[in-house]
Amino acid sequence: MIDFQLPADLLVLKERTEEFIRNVVMPYENDARQEYHGPTDELRAELVAKAREAGLLAPHAPKQYGGLGLDHRGMAVVFEAAGYSTLGPLALNIQAPDEGNTNLLHQVATPEQKDRWLVPMVQGHIRSVFSMTEPDGGAGSDPSLMQTTATPDGDDYIIKGRKWFITGMPGAGYHIIMAKTLDHEGNDVGATMFMCDADTPGIDMVRMLDTIDSNSPGGHCEVDYNNVRIPASQILGEVGKGFRYAQVRLGPARLTHCMRWLGAAQRAHDIATDYARTRQAFGKAIIEHEGVGFQLADNKIDLHTSRMITWHGCWTLDQGDKAQTETSMCKVHCSEALGRVVDRSMQVLGAKGICTDTVIERIYRDIRCFRIYDGPSEVHRWVLARS
């Protein structure tokens, strides 16, 4: 049976996080260093320093690397509290792709790779890139279409290909690159993950992509890997097992997306509820009109069910069950239900909802992309139907 009662120490951590988000992070939400493609690295570093000082940095990461070492249920509570601000996940160092890459490296990387890349990432000193998605004709929802290749050359591999929608490339410290790997005879032995510093020769940004979301430093880029030479010692895991490791990363990351967006949707609902209590129309507060009151009631339902399904998914992972169907159900339900919450909240505010007088406009743009991040709803429904 799932125990939804929070232990005392987690309740204290939840309250500390909520206080930090409201008093320290939310005042930064109108900071000019939030640019079109996301917050600047200067703003990120300042927020991370605040979280480090508050003892809240990297709640997801193991303690030996400088994190708080929470299990998935603990993460669900703290991530939701952080997500209440558009800058909260960035401040606590739980923003994608770094959060998912932390879990991946913890489980797969060698001790030397952890010292070189994982520890400074957990401590907030560097950011990372996860480079898998390719333009039309290449890997996307169907990773078997991978066009980027890794060819052996002595003790090295030569990476060649183009990726796109690669989050956070400008300013990142290192890349994780997924490539179709060939052996010395030219046979395809499967996809492999390679790690390299961001300044490795041959990594070239083609262009910045102008997208509707703006929550990640560095935005989203199209990237060329032009004969990038990577030593075999920088292979992440084993040759040919890249897709297996991708599930190590993507399964829990789908749940952590749900955790963060729960906080953002709750924020939108709270703003809409406060507005509906005070805004007058036709002789009474608009919350007393069923057209508005019912929308807020539906918000409560969607928030509650999203929280319950996320908690169940976390309980499943904490029990050691990494079933893909569980995370697919969570991802589809939360991305769509929480999107509805934000959409209704905007509708309740009317014209005020579509301008920057409140943060709802920003959340609305960002959360729409959640239905595409880490696999669109249609692919997850296909996985569920096939199971």
User: What are the residue boundaries of the structural domains of the chain, listed by start?
Assistant: 8-122, 128-239, 243-386
pTM of the model: 0.95
The per-residue pLDDT for 141 is 85
Work out the pLDDT band at 235, boundaries 50, 70, 90: very high
Work out the pLDDT band at 322, boundaries 50, 70, 90: low
pLDDT of 120 strictly over 70: yes
Distance CA 337, CA 332 (A): 8
The per-residue pLDDT for 319 is 80
In sequence order, what are the beta bridge partners of 180?
A: 149, 191
In sequence order, what are the beta bridge partners of 160?
A: 149
Q: Is the peptide bond before 231 cis (omega within 30 degrees of 0)?
A: no
The per-residue pLDDT for 3 is 63
**Inter-residue contact 60 to 103 (CB < 8 Å):** yes
Measured in degrees and rounded to the nearest 5, phi and psi for residue 89 equal -60, -35
Looking at residues 69-91, what average pLDDT do you find?
A: 97
pLDDT of 258 strictly over 60: yes
Residue 51's closest CA among 106, 95, 11, 10?
95
Same fold, 8-122 and 128-239: no
Distance CA 195, CA 245 (A): 13
Q: What is the CATH superfamily name and number for domain 243-386?
A: Butyryl-CoA Dehydrogenase, subunit A, domain 3 (1.20.140.10)
Class of domain 128-239: mainly beta
Looking at residues 268-276, what average pLDDT do you find?
A: 98
**Tens-digit pLDDT profile for residues 154-164:** 999 999 999 99
8-122 folds as: Butyryl-Coa Dehydrogenase, subunit A; domain 1 (1.10.540)
